[in-house]
Amino acid sequence: MRFGCILPTLGPLGGPDALIRTAQRAEALDYHSIWVADRLLYPLAPRTPYPATPDGSLPEYFKRSMGPVEVLTFAAAHTRRITLGTSVLNMPFYNPVVLARALATLDLLSGGRLRVGLGQAWSADELEAVGADPKVRGPRGNEFISALKAMWGPDPVEFHGQHFRVARSIVGLKPVQRPHPPIYLAGYVEAALQRTARLADGWLPANLPIAAMGHMAPQIQALVRQAGRDLGRFEIIYMAGSRITGAPLDEATRGPLCGSPAQVRADIGRLRDLGVPEVIGWSGGDTIDEMLANTARFREAVK
């Protein structure tokens, strides 16, 4: 089982020193991966409820967000082994041709450590701000992934779709990882799971209850088989906020990866039994020292 953690790119803690300390501490603790999120706005009157809070309110730390690709490029320069993941880049925010170059550059500069998590975005305010039409997110997302793969494929590159077109061209810059860095998709509805099974190298769910994972992991694995793909080359990476406590928490109310070390290890065991090879524990804190202590506590708990 592999483990990952989150860099402090959301909220007031993010800055050069905090990023360097977190990335290097994660590497020293033998974490396999570090991950960054992708937020754009903190609307004062949001039109879309936030799906991860009971009342739909936006977390305070959304008020400040650093650029995910820029942060990972910075982290790559201060680490040597740990892999660098996006969880997730929102496809409606980007043009795939431009993003393909940025990600290929990051993979080159990091020595082939990039892992690309992609999502469809959920905030109507953010989608409006970037001029994205929410009605075409599905077909645009399909083309987006195909365009990325084309840009990373052999030259000359050529792509002709409904949303994106690339004239026959020499691109030159390619990722170190061949044929391309691993691509993971987030999403839970049937269409998103079908897209993941057809086009991605893995599924990247966040904050799902372990019981829900018990239903959905076999579902996505069955869809991968139905798509005629090798399930052995498809990964499920699970992410959730983590909190290690001295005493056990009530099983009826505790969240996934929260509770005593024994409770968290039990969660990890259930995820392993579902075929999950990697777990990302998001350990927060009011200060960078507190966050680093919680990151170490989670790693110690799951040894």
What pTM value is reported for the model? Answer: 0.96
**Extents of the domains making up the chain:** 2-301
Question: b or e along 200-239 (b: 16 or more beta carbons within 10 Å of the residue's beta carbon)?
Answer: bbbbbbbebebeebeebbeebbebbeeeebeeeebbbbbb
Condensed to tens digits (0 to 9), the pLDDT of residues 63-73 reads 999 999 999 99
300: buried, middle or exposed (CB in 10 Å: 19+, 13-18, 0-12)? Answer: exposed
CB 138 within 8 Å of CB 210: no
Cα separation values, 37 from 71, 89, 121, 178, 248, Å? 10, 7, 11, 25, 30
CB 299 within 8 Å of CB 264: no
Closest to 61 measured CA to CA, from 261, 223, 291, 220: 291
Q: Which pLDDT value is given to residue 51?
A: 85
Q: Which two tokens stand for residue 86?
A: 């996006």
Q: Which pLDDT value is given to residue 303?
A: 87
Condensed to tens digits (0 to 9), the pLDDT of residues 207-247 reads 999 999 999 999 999 999 999 999 999 999 999 999 999 99
CATH number of 2-301: 3.20.20.30
